[in-house]
Amino acid sequence: MPFVKILVTREGVTREQKRQLIKGVTDVITNVLNKDPHLTHIAIEEVDTDNWGYAGEQTSILREQGLTADKK
Amino acid sequence: MPFVKILVTREGVTREQKRQLIKGVTDVITNVLNKDPHLTHIAIEEVDTDNWGYAGEQTSILREQGLTADKK
Amino acid sequence: MPFVKILVTREGVTREQKRQLIKGVTDVITNVLNKDPHLTHIAIEEVDTDNWGYAGEQTSILREQGLTADKK
Amino acid sequence: MPFVKILVTREGVTREQKRQLIKGVTDVITNVLNKDPHLTHIAIEEVDTDNWGYAGEQTSILREQGLTADKK
Amino acid sequence: MPFVKILVTREGVTREQKRQLIKGVTDVITNVLNKDPHLTHIAIEEVDTDNWGYAGEQTSILREQGLTADKK
Amino acid sequence: MPFVKILVTREGVTREQKRQLIKGVTDVITNVLNKDPHLTHIAIEEVDTDNWGYAGEQTSILREQGLTADKK
């Protein structure tokens, strides 16, 4: 009976990306733990960049300074 | 000093329903645990159906397919 | 598809009280929102009194000072 | 590797206040625990006053009745 | 800067399964969202079956009744 | 009516450190937002290093490899 909460910054995550997150994370959890997917719920919470802090600074300010969270 | 977080899909929950959730859940908790209601806080988080996954699929898509979460 | 997280201090909550919390909160939510109970999950998190803060102080210290959270 | 979630009522918290929350809470955590700030993330969740319950009542109703959460 | 919380019942999840959950979920999130894994944190919370409710009943009781969450 | 959840790895956080976290974070929040401390609750969740993932790996394994989260 897993429940998963995914917090990401609200930066244009598309409906299709959300679908892939839900599908992919459910697959990992039900495969690793051998759980019934019908007992697995996932909620994605999108957080404004003003509301997410990293290393003591607002992400919105870090973005203005050119710092991204993109994969290198 | 209980704290309760209620996550529901954002599908037209009314102000009155939220009030009933807050009243009802507080009553259960303070009665079962004999807690002072002034130490009991509740937060309701409404989650877009695009952001809620069930059985590996987006709730918005399940709704389009006719699946509801209504009591049978 | 509601999910509920209940945080309480770890102060001897019995198995029967947990059962009543689960039953009572599920009833409130499924009745108010007309939701299928089979889509309603609840997790109770018990927090050590050293780990719960109220008004800037550890609950374990407040308890030593005679402050309870009991209903008046 | 701390993560902090701050839930507040959505009542006009400014961008600058959010910045101060992020800076201040990160400082406390990294100083008390001697943690690298680059491993410390904070998310602020603003909750509508209709969605926050205190003592069994909606905060929006408590506000209409004149009850504030302001420091005395 | 994603953060993921995974709640599962405490029913013998092994260290290796936790490793696979962490690896698998991080891969999904960083691939779908193109995020730097060094900004992705995951916490697994194991919940006693007495503390997890499903359909209004304690999971520990459901287990005694023979109901599992295993994949069919 | 703020509520704060602090997640840290379970690596010997002392009772006194928890007290300082609670005091310090409450001070920041009540000062920045001008909130009554009696409406501010904090819960600290300690997460086993097997259960915390960073960059796709278990923290317990990262620790074995010599990686710490200490401030540089």
pLDDT per position as a tens digit, D4-54:
999 999 999 999 999 999 999 999 999 999 999 999 999 999 999 999 999
Query: What amino acid occupies position A64?
Result: E
Contact list, A25 vs chain E (CB under 8 Å): 4, 25, 28-29
Average pLDDT over residues B35-42: 94
Q: What is the pLDDT of residues C2-59, one digit of tens each?
A: 999 999 999 999 999 999 999 999 999 999 999 999 999 999 999 999 999 999 999 9
Structure-token pair, residue A24: 């992919």
Distance CA A24, CA A26 (A): 5
Structural domain includes residue E31 = yes
How many domains are there within chain E? 1
Which residues from E are below 8 Å from A34, CB to CB?
Answer: 70-71
Q: Is residue A72 domain-resident?
A: no
DSSP structure string for A15-54: HHHHHHHHHHHHHHHHHHHTB-GGG-EEEEEEE-GGGEEE
- Look at residue B1 in the predicted model and tell me its pLDDT: 75
**F70 occurs within a structural domain:** no
Name the band, by pLDDT with cuts 50, 70 and 90, for residue B71: confident
Rounded Cα distance, E40 and D37, in Å: 14
| Chain B residues close to D69, C-beta within 8 Å | none
Q: Which of C15, C22, C45 sits opposite E53 (nearest CB)?
A: C22
pLDDT band of C72, cuts 50, 70, 90: confident
The H-assigned helical ranges of D1-72 are 15-33, 59-64
Q: Is residue C36 part of a domain?
A: yes
The DSSP 8-state label assigned to residue F50 in this structure reads G
> How far, in Å, are B4, B23, C71, D2 from residue D52 at the CA level?
10, 11, 21, 26
User: Distance (Å, rounded) from C-alpha B37 to C-alpha E34?
Assistant: 45
Residue C44 lies in a domain: yes
Q: Inspect the interface and report whether the beta carbons of C19 and E45 lie closer than 8 Å.
A: no
**pLDDT confidence bin for C1, thresholds 50/70/90:** confident
pLDDT in tens, E18-29: 999 999 999 999
The answer to whether residue B72 is domain-embedded is: no
User: Residue B72's pLDDT is what?
Assistant: 76
Closest CA to D9 of D67, F44, C17: D67
**ipTM (interface predicted TM):** 0.97
pLDDT tens sequence across F1-26:
799 999 999 999 999 999 999 999 99
CB contact under 8 A, E60 and C30: no
Q: Please identify every residue of F annotated as catalytic.
A: 2
Domain ranges, residue F20: 3-64
Residues of E in Cβ contact (< 8 Å) with A12? none
Beta bridge partners of C6: B4, C44
Rounded to an integer, what distance in angstroms lies between the CA atom of residue E7 and that of residue E43? 9
Show which residues on chain D lie within 8 Å of chain F, measured between beta carbons. 1-9, 13, 17, 20-21, 24-25, 28-37, 39, 52, 54, 59, 69-72
Examine residue A26 and state whether it is found in any structural domain, yes or no: yes
E strands, E1-72, are 3-9, 41-47, 52-54, 57-58
- For residue A47, tell me if it sits in a domain: yes
CATH number at residue E59: 3.30.429.10
Beta strands F3-9 and D3-9, pairing class: antiparallel
Q: Which pLDDT belongs to residue D1? A: 75
Q: Which residue, among D1, D41, D51, would best test binding to A if mutated, counting the most A CBs under 10 Å from its CB?
A: D41
DSSP symbol at A56? T
With an 8 Å Cβ cutoff, are C41 and A43 in contact?
Answer: no
Q: Are F7 and F57 in contact (CB under 8 A)?
A: no
CB pairs under 8 A between A and C: 10
Model pLDDT for residues F20-71, shown as the tens digit of each residue: 999 999 999 999 999 999 999 999 999 999 999 999 999 999 999 998 988 8
Q: What is the mean pLDDT of chain E?
A: 96
- Whole-angstrom CA distances from F26 to A5, A54, A71, D61, E38 are 25, 20, 35, 25, 29
Instruction: For A15-57, write each residue's pLDDT tens digit.
Output: 999 999 999 999 999 999 999 999 999 999 999 999 999 999 9
